[in-house]
């Protein structure tokens, strides 16, 4: 019934290289969060605070049992609640008003229709999973969202979300983009893929689609963050693209299966894109565009905010230019982006080698690593053949290995990281 | 024989509103500087120091009479000279080595062919003048160039250089520009003209030409800074354009009549464009373009440095984008530029009125001011008819009056500045 939160993990191993300090959360926590992901709207800071105060189970019980919370003042309309002094620093916004009976009533109505077991069954049947804080696959950078942190993420696709998101960049922009914008988005995505970076976008028409396709086309890794359930192909015209990303990349969202997008969900989805990635690049955007919301969220979260300029005669570049006069850095190509978001290791050759001993890798990840020859850069298809896994799965593992420092991508080829000594031997010689 | 340095000045008046503290320099100073403008290359800081040390007459005498300077160490090769400790702060560069016999010999060779009287006669016959520091027409912002300050400026055209340069912006860019670049330069120049700003450029093909034409086309004011004599139409294909600027605007340069452009003179001309204006806008420029030299000179001089972005697919925008990642501010239209370079008065309505009493204006300037009706914005042609002067001369005076705060331009029309009381009366009532 419970989905498999970490498909690459071997349950028979005593140690998991990705394992967080808290271990895997209990199943009841996952079930409660699945219910809450249906009950509360994405990014609702009131819900985030209640969750922090009562825990997922406690919060859900409160809603289901019509229980009165311990602090009498908390729910009274207009009365300051116990969290009134808590500031949502990550957003620099004013503290929202205390919980009110009206807000509570809305959640209680929705709690009656929550079917978390069915949703978890459904995602498992789709080959997906519901990833929650504490899971090894949980991308911890989302914690920067504070009380607006997602309750959980519904995920489909063969890759490990946490490993991929570590080396990811968001490419966003206008739906009704120009041919220049589409061309540039695709070229940037292809270039980022060739540098071994994961391209994150929102699967919309225009720039989003061009970015995903640019990554897929060059055998790269891409993540689509949806404002609806991961089984809902929205927009309809991108059903094929989203299916392809489900096979080769990752598709994720905050809403349980069947959830439909709304205007506010689109806006709130953007904060997940901004928080998940090392930086956000806006390719084309008009004044007051949703892409600017994503970019400004990225800036507030301390992520790199970048913009691709265009002709000043184009209204579709006006929003980007506005951003470039403020918080954003001008980028012209993938190398500019990598220079900004790349870590020290990216800039200072030779690399110091992997951060994890080889022995601690999950077996199917280790199999892909072993399929790489000692010296020569090798195309994906050859590695997949040697490893005996399909290319999409192989690619997912290669990007994980890239995040962990074992391999590098050079154009269409993959090779072992150039290190003076065998890292696993060296490390194990000392222990 | 000596040219008229300030055509708008009335020699019978006791007070001149433009008069500097030193009064008008003596004719022998002008003659010596005219000779030196032939002898030393534009922007040579060694010459600038000698000029500062000995004065124009003393420096010229030293070169003509083969005299040995008072400080024995000054001219010895490799020996530190008396100015060794003087730093050229305005450029942030290291102190150049002391004067050497070789450098001195080069100047002495050229001193034999200097014919300053003929050059001054020539410029006077062309209706021009040789403007030197201390003249009321000298643009004092050029003093920011330190020892690289021009020795003097050979000027043609009906306007007062100092008044025009006070409200001027440089538009520069690639010679081999794209249609996008040419269109944008012309549109910016037209927009700046309509805001009452003077457009300064270098009369080259491409962006420069489009900028001058954009200003001229909308009845605006424009200054061409040449890297050759002001009687040399370079480039040949712009002979007609330069002639038109001589009639309606200002053409100036550091070289005496007949002087020819060289590669280094083009580069050094750029510092004059940068220093003369409140800011420099680069429209299109490749990497390592001369326009970037102008922009960086502007930044070093504390002027605003601006860039117009373009498609990242265009190599002709790559240099601008490089600049925008560094010292420059992105601008999309004339309003963006005016917002940056405009003074407080430009931004804070209502304006406080003119800085000079009306009575102190030169008679032909006052005549143009009197030709403006009390309230209604009036087209240039009507003002010229009322004032009884030709349109080019009227325009020159209107831009002077604009610098002094008496008038404003609104599109094609001019009107008196909107002040609550008559400024001249109010001021004179108090004295």
The pLDDT, as a whole number, for residue A422 is 40
Chain A hits for B282, Cβ within 8 Å: none
**Secondary structure of chain A in HEC code, one letter for each residue:** CCCCCCCCCCCCCCCCCCCCCCCCCCHHHHHHHHHHHHHCCCCCHHHHHHHHHHHHHHHHHHHHCCCCCCCHHHHCCCCCCCCCCCCCHHHCCCCCCCCCHHHHHHHHHHHCCCCHHHHHHHHHHCCCEEECCCCCCCCHHHHHHHHHCCCCEEEECCCCHHHHHHCEEEEECCCCCCHHHHHHHHHHHHHHHHCCCEEEECCCCCHHHHHHHHHHHCCCCEEEEECCCCCCCCCHHHHHHHHHHHHHCEEEECCCCCCCCCHHHHHHHHHHHHHHCCEEEECCCCCCCHHHHHHHHHHHCCCEEEECCCCCCCHHHHHHHHHHCCCCEECCCHHHHHHHHCCHHHHCCCCCCCCCCHHHCCHHHHHHHHCCCCCCCEEHHHHHHHHCCCHHHHHHHHHHHHHCCCEEEECCEEEECCCCCCHHHHHHHHC
Tell me which DSSP letter residue B236 carries.
G
Which has the closest alpha carbon to A169: A130, A135, A214, A129?
Answer: A214
Question: Are A334 and A376 spatial neighbours (Cβ–Cβ below 8 Å)?
Answer: no
| Of B313, B325, B333, Cβ closest to residue A312 | B333
CB spacing of B312 vs A183 below 8 angstroms: no
A240 phi-psi bin (left φ>0, alpha ψ -120 to 50, beta other) = alpha
Q: List the single best residue of B311, B319, B324 to mutate versus A (max A Cβ within 10 A).
A: B311
CB spacing of A309 vs B317 below 8 angstroms: yes
Gap between the Cα atoms of B319 and B173, Å rounded:
10
Q: Does A186 touch chain B (CB under 8 A)?
A: no
Q: Does A180 touch chain B (CB under 8 A)?
A: yes
Chain A hits for B183, Cβ within 8 Å: 313
Q: Does B179 touch chain A (CB under 8 A)?
A: no
| Domain A140-341 shares a fold with domain A348-424 | no
Closest-CA distance of chain A to residue B42, Å: 36
* CA closest to B333 among chain A residues: A312
Chain A hits for B313, Cβ within 8 Å: 180, 183-184
Q: Does B178 touch chain A (CB under 8 A)?
A: no
**Which H or E run includes B304?**
strand B304-307
Closest-CA distance of chain A to residue B332, Å: 5
Angle, CA A292 vertex, CA A287 and CA A294 arms, to 5° = 160
Chain A hits for B321, Cβ within 8 Å: 309, 330, 332
Tell me which DSSP letter residue B72 carries.
G
A88-126 pLDDT, tens digit per residue, is 344 444 445 567 788 889 999 999 999 999 999 999 999
Whether omega before A235 lies within 30 degrees of 0, making that bond cis, reads yes
| Of A321, A329, A332, Cβ closest to residue B312 | A332
Q: How would CATH label the architecture of A140-341?
A: 3-Layer(aba) Sandwich (3.40)
The residue ranges of every structural domain in chain B are 27-81+94-114, 152-341, 348-424
The pLDDT, as a whole number, for residue A182 is 96
Question: Are B222 and B200 spatial neighbours (Cβ–Cβ below 8 Å)?
Answer: yes
Chain A hits for B310, Cβ within 8 Å: 309-312
The pLDDT, as a whole number, for residue B191 is 95
Gap between the Cα atoms of A170 and A222, Å rounded:
10
Q: Which two tokens stand for residue B340?
A: 């940056």
CB spacing of A332 vs B310 below 8 angstroms: no
Question: Are B108 and B63 spatial neighbours (Cβ–Cβ below 8 Å)?
Answer: yes
Chain A hits for B311, Cβ within 8 Å: 180, 184, 309-311
**Mean pLDDT per 10-residue section of chain A, whose length is 431 residues:** 39 37 74 97 94 94 76 42 37 54 90 95 96 95 95 96 95 95 96 94 97 95 97 95 96 97 92 96 94 93 96 95 94 95 52 56 86 86 89 88 83 76 37 29
Which has the closest alpha carbon to B290: B314, B268, B317?
Answer: B268
The fold of the A348-424 domain, in CATH, is Arc Repressor Mutant, subunit A (1.10.10)
Ordered alpha helix ranges (H), B94-178: 101-111, 116-125, 161-166
CATH 3.40.50.450 fits B152-341, yes or no: yes
The pLDDT, as a whole number, for residue B376 is 85
| Of A183, A309, A311, Cβ closest to residue B180 | A311
**Which H or E run includes B169?**
strand B168-172
pLDDT in tens, chain B (431 residues): 333 444 333 333 333 333 334 457 779 999 999 999 999 999 999 999 999 999 999 999 999 987 665 554 444 444 333 333 333 344 444 445 567 788 889 999 999 999 999 999 999 999 999 999 999 999 999 999 999 999 999 999 999 999 999 999 999 999 999 999 999 999 999 999 999 999 999 999 999 999 999 999 998 999 999 999 999 999 999 999 999 999 999 999 999 999 999 999 999 999 999 999 999 999 999 998 989 999 999 999 999 999 999 999 999 999 999 999 998 999 999 999 999 998 644 443 333 444 556 777 888 888 899 888 877 889 999 999 988 888 888 988 898 888 778 888 887 889 888 654 343 333 333 33
ipTM beyond cut 0.90: no
Q: Between A and B, how many CB-CB pairs are < 8 A?
A: 54
φ, ψ of residue A169 to 5 degrees: the values are: -135, 140
A277-287 pLDDT, tens digit per residue, is 999 999 999 99
Q: Does A308 touch chain B (CB under 8 A)?
A: yes
Q: Does B332 touch chain A (CB under 8 A)?
A: yes
Whether omega before A350 lies within 30 degrees of 0, making that bond cis, reads yes
Cα–Cα distances in Å, from B265 out to A393, B34, B296? 63, 17, 17
Q: Which two tokens stand for residue B186?
A: 């012309």
């Amino acid at each position: 019934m419970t989905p498999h939160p970490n498909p690459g993990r071997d349950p028979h191993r005593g140690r998991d290289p990705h394992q967080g300090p808290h271990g895997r959360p209990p199943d009841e926590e996952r079930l409660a969060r699945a219910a809450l992901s249906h009950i509360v709207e994405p990014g609702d800071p009131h819900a985030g605070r209640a969750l922090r105060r009562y825990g997922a189970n406690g919060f859900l019980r409160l809603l289901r049992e019509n229980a009165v919370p311990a602090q009498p003042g908390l729910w009274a309309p207009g009365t300051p609640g116990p969290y009134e002094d808590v500031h949502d620093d990550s957003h620099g916004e004013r503290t929202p008003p205390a919980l009110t009976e009206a807000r509570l009533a809305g959640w209680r109505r929705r709690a009656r229709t929550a079917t978390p077991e069915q949703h978890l069954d459904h995602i498992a049947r789709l080959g997906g999973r519901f990833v929650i804080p504490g899971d090894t696959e949980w991308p911890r950078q989302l914690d920067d969202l504070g009380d607006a942190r997602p309750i959980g993420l519904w995920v489909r696709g063969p890759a490990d979300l946490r490993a991929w998101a570590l080396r990811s960049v968001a490419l966003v922009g206008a739906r009704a983009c120009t041919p220049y914008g589409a061309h540039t988005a695709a070229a940037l995505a292809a270039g980022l893929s060739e540098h071994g970076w994961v391209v994150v976008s929102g699967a919309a028409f225009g720039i989003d689609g061009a970015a995903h396709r640019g990554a897929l086309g060059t055998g790269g890794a891409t993540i689509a963050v949806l404002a609806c359930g991961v089984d809902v192909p929205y927009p309809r015209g991108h059903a094929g693209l989203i299916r392809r990303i489900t096979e080769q990349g990752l598709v994720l969202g905050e809403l349980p299966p069947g959830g439909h997008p709304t205007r506010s969900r689109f806006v709130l989805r953007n904060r997940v894109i901004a928080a998940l990635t090392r930086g956000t690049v806006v390719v084309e955007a008009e004044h007051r565009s949703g892409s600017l919301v994503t970019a400004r969220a990225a800036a507030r979260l301390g992520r790199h905010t970048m913009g691709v300029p265009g002709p000043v005669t184009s209204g579709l570049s006006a929003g980007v230019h506005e951003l470039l006069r403020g918080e954003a850095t001008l980028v012209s190509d993938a190398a500019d982006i990598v220079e900004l978001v790349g870590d020290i290791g990216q800039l200072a050759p030779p690399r110091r080698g992997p951060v994890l001993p080889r022995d601690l890798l999950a077996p199917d990840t280790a199999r892909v690593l072993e399929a790489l020859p000692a010296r020569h850069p090798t195309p994906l298809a050859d590695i997949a053949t040697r490893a005996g896994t399909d290319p999409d799965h192989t690619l997912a593992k290669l990007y994980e290995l890239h995040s962990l420092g074992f391999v590098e991508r050079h154009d269409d080829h993959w090779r072992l990281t150039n290190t003076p000594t065998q890292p696993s031997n060296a490390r194990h010689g000392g222990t």
